[in-house]
Chains A and B, each alone.
Chain A
């Protein structure tokens, strides 16, 4: 079983839509959680960390559900510029140097 699993998509949504991605992780000892954004042929860039209580940054909201072992990312009022691949990343309590990356979910925001 993969450490981190994501729906590859693509998610095709119109501008202004709300879209949500989920990501499941297999190791209950997972400690830190992040969402990264990767544009085509570019490096991943940190979008936001995910905290136990959930957190929001502008149009982006991240949630963590430890009992069900998943994290989510909600994007409200989608912009064309949100088109990218979103990577879910987790680390483990006993080996924080190993970041486990999901394969990514592709989002296409259409005019």
Chain B
């Protein structure tokens, strides 16, 4: 049982480039989330999804886009990368309202 899998683990982007961070889970969870964590800071919610075909913005959605075509996959798209997007990105899922998250191992992104 793989849980939540994120790829890539590390990436360096140049300013203005685009990329997609992949996230997939095999637990049949309806709820999926993208967070970013800056050094010494708490996690900030970027986007979330409560099921296939349904997505919504979190606290810091600007500069990002998501899609949820299947229950398993929830990719995060960065368009026109900026240095302010240098961060660690975590994908998470959970099965229901009162349950905690299962996190992926993260993607460390540096924009130079």
Contact = CB atoms under 8 A, between A and B. Distances in A.
A4 interface: yes
A44 B92 CA distance: 10
A29 to B, nearest CB: 14
Interface in A50-67: none
Contacts of A97: 31, 33, 48, 50, 56
Interface in A1-29: 4, 8
Nearest to B59: A98
B47 to A, nearest CB: 10
Contact of B103 (A34, A44, A102, A104): A44
Contacts, number: 49
Nearest to A43: B103
Given A96-B97, A97-B31, A97-B56, A104 B42 contact: yes
Interface string A87-111: 1010000001111111110000000
Contact of B40 (A34, A36, A103): A103
Given A43-B90, A97-B50, A102 B56 contact: no
User: What 3 A-B pairs have minimum CB-CB distances, sorted nearest first?
Assistant: A43-B103, A101-B42, A46-B100
Interface of B: 31, 33, 35, 40-43, 45, 48, 50, 56, 58-59, 90, 97-98, 100-106
Given A46-B102, A99-B33, 18 more contacts: A4-B42, A34-B100, A36-B100, A43-B106, A44-B43, A45-B103, A46-B100, A49-B100, A87-B42, A96-B97, A97-B31, A97-B33, A97-B56, A98-B45, A98-B58, A99-B43, A103-B42, A104-B42
Interface of A: 4, 8, 32, 34, 36, 42-46, 49, 87, 89, 96-104
20 contacts: A8-B40, A34-B100, A36-B100, A42-B105, A44-B43, A44-B103, A45-B103, A46-B101, A49-B98, A89-B100, A96-B97, A96-B98, A97-B48, A97-B50, A98-B58, A98-B59, A99-B45, A101-B42, A102-B42, A103-B40
